[in-house]
Chain A
Amino acid sequence: MSNRILEVRGLSRIYGHGCPLCVESTGPENDTNICPHCSSVVAVHGVSFDLFRGEILGIIGESGSGKSSTVKMLYFDDAPTEGEAIFFDNGERHELFQRNAAQQRSLRNKRFGMVYQNPHLGLNFQVSAGGNIAERMLMSDVAHYGEIRRRAQELLLRTEVLPERMDQNPKTFSGGMQQRVQIAKALVTRPPLLFLDEVTTGLDLSVQAAILDLILEIQQELDTAMIVVTHDLGVIRLLAGRTLVMKYGRVIEAGLTDQILEDPQHAYTQRLVASNL
């Protein structure tokens, strides 16, 4: 039996009304993702990949390459223009974009986790750090106050947030600590699939290293599959087993991370690697 957890085929997203020439007029070979005929933005086109249990897949590319848009569609923050994604969970097969809104929200709340670059998107700053974790648990029908407290404390400890700060509002936390609370919140339901969107961007190097170590430890401990979106080759090198390189909404190169970093085939990837290493 395959241990595949996610199958994505032909995922596309066009912002704007689109026209028949959008796809052929955009892409890396045209050096743009804006259609010259109708001004629509082809944010993502024809993205396909598989993700396996416990695997970390990296998506790398410059700003506007479509990597965050890909993840947002899979997390139901945005709807695709076309394409399909199948999530395999406990022997069940969920066609993500065929599910109704309620089923999508249920999957998102219980089976997926997301850590955003901007903690304001992932955390509720009206409630305490513990309250943020409690919210995810309550969404998953856990309504035992003692159990919620115990689990929140356990996770904050695991993510190296001081337990005495559990009842404080996360807006009083540093950026790194807010990211760690986001990670704790995302993990509280033990999701089999976790999305990490530029989690270390904007943090200083020592905090970055601590968060990356933490992600790696959690992945090994819980066997969680992850999609890591970043423009930092160092993050990809440390975390991802396989990597997709995106440019102007298209996947221009895919393969094992070591192979991509050591022997890039596409000219853009070669430039990217050369500029970083």
Chain B
Amino acid sequence: MNIHYEFPLEEVGYSFGFLDEYAKKEVRRTILKAICIPGYQTPYASREMPMGRGFGTGGLQLTLALIGPDDTLKVIDQGSDDSVNAVNLRQFVQLTCPGVGVTEKLEEATLIQSRHRIPEVALTEAQVLVLQVPYPDPLVVVESSEARRKIMHAEADYSRLLVKLYEDIVHFDEITISHRYPTRINRHYVIDPSPIPRWDVPKLDQSPALILLGAGREKKIYAVPPYSVAEPLVFDDVPFRVEDFRDEHGQRRACARCGAINSFLDEYSDDNNAKIYQCSDSAYCDGQLAQHQQREVKG
């Protein structure tokens, strides 16, 4: 590599955004490899970013390697467009990638960077979802040696993960994993699908959009290519179950704001310390609310 190389002025537009061309090239090559081997944790030289590890540096590097002036970016943090992490990342991309559009509307976005959630509305083939990942390897809970974990992945030996699920059923009568549910991609590699809740795991299966997962601190990128098979790890006779949000009377809880009964809900306490539930996906909740208001106006 010639470190003194400088792009000619007329080609400066090619080196778009925050990352230099060499970094983008390396990350893009890693993305291609990750797509070719669905679910395989592809190592890459994760760069130092102007924020601490753990604040989404892996996802941000993927976004910055992919984004171009004609892209529209949506950034979500635990379903919300307005939380600190989402706002900061969005502002950083706006600052360093001139001309990039940002939006809170899912249908307008071409690139979606998310922490801990997959949007409620189904993604399209024209979209790419980038997930920020803290711990990429699902086997880390059962095997501390990375060398042995690599062998286990290569041989698709996930028996020890299944033993963990077995122990859960024995002791608690159900699998207690609430997020980071181990999911097998294209019948080989099991991934840690970032800390998305169980609710979102079925959305990985046959997703029309490319899903990229980036772990900055752990220096790994992996992918769920479009229309891949994504199966949560389960026993043949114990089916996978998502959160059902039922109250003590067996009724499905509704969003206190938009009334939705088919979305992932966050639990809050109101001024009287009573529990209330609201859609985790703020853009979806806004959309539902707008539809209600339109119907009311028409009615």
Residues of A within 8 A of B154 (CB): 102
Please count how many residues in chain B sit with their CB below 8 Å of the partner chain's CB atoms: 18
Q: How far is the CA of A146 from the CA of B238 in the complex (A)?
A: 9
| A129-137, A157-165, A172-180, A221-229 - interface stretch | A129-137
Residue interface bits B208-252, CB-to-A below 8 A is 1, else 0: 000000000000000000000000000111100000000000000
| Interface of chain A: mostly helix, strand, loop or mixed | helix
A135 touches B170 (CB 8 A): no
Q: Does B163 have its Cβ within 8 Å of any Cβ on chain A?
A: yes
Contacts of A21 in B (CB 8 A): none
* Interface residues as binary, B56-89 with A (CB distance below 8 Å gives 1, 0 otherwise): 0000000000000000000000000000000000
Which residues of chain B are within 8 angstroms of A144 by Cβ–Cβ distance?
A: 235-237
Give A148's nearest chain B residue, CB to CB.
Answer: B166
In the assembled complex, the CB of A56 is this many whole angstroms from the nearest CB of chain B, namely 29
Contact A131 B236 (CB under 8 A): no
Given B160, B164, B167, B237, which contacts A146 in the complex, CB threshold below 8 Å?
B237
Q: Which residue on chain A has the smallest CB distance to residue B159?
A: A138
If A145-B235, A146-B237 touch, whether A105 touches B155 (CB-CB below 8 Å) is: yes
Within 8 A of B (CB), among A109-148: 124, 127-128, 130-131, 134-135, 138-139, 143-148
- Looking at the assembled complex, report how far the CB atom of B151 sits from the nearest CB atom of chain A, in whole angstroms: 7
**B169 interfacial contact with A, CB 8 Å:** yes
Residues of A within 8 A of B238 (CB): 145
Does any Cβ of A come within 8 Å of B256's Cβ?
Answer: no
CB distance from A40 to the nearest CB of B (A): 27
Nearest Cβ distance between residue A169 and chain B, in whole angstroms?
Answer: 10
Q: Please, which residues of chain B bring their CB within 8 A of the CB of A131? A: 163, 166-167, 170
The interface residues of chain B lying within 8 Å CB-to-CB of A102 are: 154-155
Report the nearest A residue to B160, measured CB to CB: A135
Q: Contact residues of A with B, CB < 8 Å?
A: 101-102, 105, 124, 127-128, 130-131, 134-135, 138-139, 143-148, 167
12 CB-based A-B contacts, threshold 8 Å: A101-B151, A102-B154, A124-B163, A131-B163, A135-B159, A138-B159, A139-B157, A143-B162, A143-B236, A144-B235, A145-B236, A146-B237
